[in-house]
Structure 1
C-alpha cells in the first residue's frame, strides 16, 4: 500500500493544473493578456495597495464589435431587414414605398440612397408599435433561424471566445459585468444572458419611450416611436451614471462610439483598465478601423495609444476568435 508520505508528491502534481489554470486560454501570452491579469489581481487581492471592494468592481463592455462581430453590418440592422420581409404581407404599400421597397427587392443602391432617414423608418417599423415582450420574442425567433452571410452560423455564435473568457474571469473575481451599447436594449436582452451570462438588468442600450397600457384587459409595455435615449458616444457615460451609479473600474469597446465611456472610466481615482478590440485579422474575421462605415475606430485609437490603454490586436493577441473555431497560435504581425 502506498504510504501517505510517498503519495504527497503525486497529490501535489495533481493539484498543479487547478493552481495554474489559465483564465484566458484563447489569448496569446503577451502585453494585452498580462495587463488584464495583472489588473484583476491588483484590485482583487485583499491588502493590496490597489484593492477594491467587490461592490465597486464594475466592468462595462460595448457589444457590437467588442463581444460579437459587427460585419458586414450591425446584426440588429440585418434583423430589421428580415423583419420587413416577414411583415411585408401585412403592408402591401411597402412594395412601392421606399425604403421598404428597396429592402424587399434587395436593391442595395436604392436603400443606400435613402440614407439615415431610410434606416430610421425601417427601425421604427420593426422596433416600435408593439410590446416589449413581443419585440423580444421576435428577436429570439430571428436568432433561432437567421444565419450569418459569411460563415453560415447563427448570429449568436458569432461571438468572441476571448471576450467570453474575460467576462467569466471577471465574474469569478466578483466583478459585476454590464453591456453598455448603442444597440436596442430589448434586442440585446433577447440573447445576452444565454450567450454572455449578462442578465437583463445589466444590459444598457438605446431605448424608445414606453407606455404602460391595458390591451384586452392585460397590462403591457408599449414601445412608442419616440426615442428616449441614444446610448452611443456621450450617451454611454450618461447611462452608466444614471443606471449603474458607479464609475467603472474597467471598460472595453472597439470604436469611436466607445470613446467617452473609456474616458469616463479613466477619469476615476485609483487603478483603472481601458481597452479597445482592434479588428486586424482579415483572414479569420475582418480588418478595419479608421475608414470603416461600421465600427469606425479613429480618435479612440489615437487616444488609447497616447494614454497607454490596451489595444487588443485581434490577429496577434487571440488564438481563437469564435467558439466554433479550433485554437491556433496566431501569427504575430
Structure 2
C-alpha cells in the first residue's frame, strides 16, 4: 500500500470513512493465551531494564502505595491507551483501512461497472497513487458504495470473520497476532494494580469491540472510538440497531479528551500513545494536579517492526515527540526498550 495514498487524504477524512465500512466472512483464529497474561513473577518481562521500564514501575508504586503522598484510590486509577501503533501494528497502513479496501474488492463481482470507474478502478488495480488523487470525494464514494444497512450484530460478525482471514502483507500473520507483547503485559500489570484500562482510538468503536477483550483483555464497554449513528427499528418483529452512513463522533486529536469525558467521566492519571493524534489526550491526562504519567511508543526498530516518526503519513510523530521533552513524558525506544515486539518472536 503506497504512502502516497495516505498523504493525499486527511486523517480526519479517513477516520470518518473507516468507521462505516464492512468486510467479508471467514473463521476467527484464536490468539495465543500467552499474549493476554504475564506468565512470570517479574513485572513486564518483555521489557529491557532501563529508564522507560523503571519509570512505569516507579509511577505504579507511587500511586498504589497507601500512605504515599501520591496515592490514588482504585476508583480513580484510569489509564487510556491509543490502539493503532500503540497496541498493535499500524504500518504500512491502518488495519481498518485495509479492511475497507478489501470490502470494495469483495463487492466488485456484484458491480462490474467498477472496473472502469474511479475510485473503484484504482482500488481493484491496487493503484494507490491514483486513489490518492481522488481525494476526499473519492473516499466518500467508496464509503457510500460499500456501506449497506446492517445491524450492529451483523457488523460484529463481519469484523470477526475478516480478521480471521486477513493477513498482514509483511508478517503474513493475522492482525490480531501483531499486538505488541510488551504493551499487553503493561495492560495486565496495570490491571493487577487496580487500574481500569480503556482504549481511546481514532478507529471505529464497533470495529474494535469484537476482539479487544480476547487480544488485550480490555472489554467492549471500555473502548472509546470513532462512531457512526445507529437507528433503532423493528425488523420482522425483532428490535434491531442499524448502522447509518452518517458520522456521530471522530475520536482523534482534540476529540480524544472529549471522548474520554463523555464515555469515561474521569480524567485519566496515565495515558499511552504513539503519534500526534494522541497529543491532546496526553496533555489532558498529564497537565493536571497530582502525579501523572504520559508515555509515547517511538517506532525505531525497522528489523523487528518498523522505524518511523516525523514524516510518516500513518503514526505521524512530530509535535508530540517534541512535547514529550517539555512535559517529561516517557518515550519508549522500541529497539532498545523491548526484548521482543510480538508474542511469536
Q: TM-score, normalised by structure 1?
A: 0.89
Distance 1:175 1:129 in 2: 38
Matches within 5 A, 1:39-58: 39-58=59-78
Q: 2:201 aligns with which of 181, 205, 215?
A: 181
Corresponding residue number in structure 2 for 1:309: 329
Determine if the alignment matches structure 1 residue 37 to structure 2 residue 37: no
- Aligned 8 A contact 1:127 1:135 in 2: no
* Structure 1 unpaired stretches of 5+: 1-19, 326-333
- Do residues 115 (structure 1) and 135 (structure 2) align? yes
Displacement of 1:172 in angstroms is 0.4
Match of 1:79 among 92, 99, 109: 99
Instruction: Provide closer, same or farther for how the CA distance between residues 66 and 128 of structure 1 changes in structure 2, counting only shifts above 3 A.
Output: farther
Q: Give SS of 1:119's match.
A: helix
**Does residue 249 of structure 2 align to residue 229 of structure 1?**
yes
Q: SS at 1:204's partner residue? A: strand
Aligned to 2:229: 209
Q: Which moved more, 1:150-159 or 1:96-105?
A: 96-105
Q: Is the 8 A contact 1:179 1:198 kept in 2?
A: yes
Q: CA deviation at 1:311?
A: 0.6
C-alpha root-mean-square deviation of aligned residues, in Å? Answer: 1.4
Does the CA-based 8 Å contact 1:71-1:286 persist in structure 2? yes
Cα offsets for 1:28-72 (capped at 9, x unmatched):
100000000110011011111111111110000000000000001
**How far apart are the structure 1 equivalents of 2:149 and 2:126?**
25
Q: Which residue of 168, 179, 198 maps to 1:159?
A: 179
Output the CA distance in 1 between the equivalents of 2:294 and 2:55.
10
Q: 1:284-305, CA deviations, whole angstroms, 9 ceiling, x for partnerless residues? A: 1111101111110000000011
Gaps of 5+ in 2: 1-39
2:297 corresponding residue in structure 1: 277
- How far off its partner does 1:124 sit? 4.4
Alpha-carbon distance change, 127 to 261 in structure 1, aligned in 2, over 3 angstroms: farther
Displacement after TM superposition at 1:129 (Å): 2.8
Equivalent residue, structure 2, for 1:198: 218
Select the residue among 92, 97, 103 that pairs with 2:112.
92
Using the alignment, how far apart are the partners of 2:141 and 2:324 within structure 1? 35
Count of matched residue pairs? 306
Cα shift readout 1:264-289 (whole Å, capped 9, x = no counterpart): 00122111100100001111111110
Whole-angstrom CA distance in 2 between matches of 1:294 and 1:124:
24
Bigger Rg, structure 1 or 2? 1
